Amino acid sequence: MPYLREDELGDRLGRILKDIHIPDTVLAQLQESLLGLRSSQEEMKRAELERFGQRLAQVRRRLDQAYRFVDTR
């Protein structure tokens, strides 16, 4: 593969891409899809954090029970 400087590569890609036109309707659909994906990811993140919080609370309760058991002996 021949070596190309970054600016030369950028110029070549710019010439290729300058004639590409994406219709506004397609851009709107892409934007809507990306926003929906972001919302979905945020919801999954919230659910995962809640699940981890519940698991942490469960582990803490078990630790507390274990300490109480040791203290009563």
Confidence of residue 70 (pLDDT cuts 50, 70, 90): confident
Nearest one of 22, 4, 21 to 12, comparing CA atoms = 4
| 22-26, 29-33, 49-53, 67-71, range with the lowest pLDDT | 67-71
Query: Please, which residues have CB within 8 angstroms of residue 12's CB and are 6 or more apart in sequence?
Result: 4
Check pLDDT > 80 for residue 16: yes
Summarize pLDDT for 49-59 with one digit per residue, the tens: 999 999 999 99
* Global confidence as pTM: 0.52
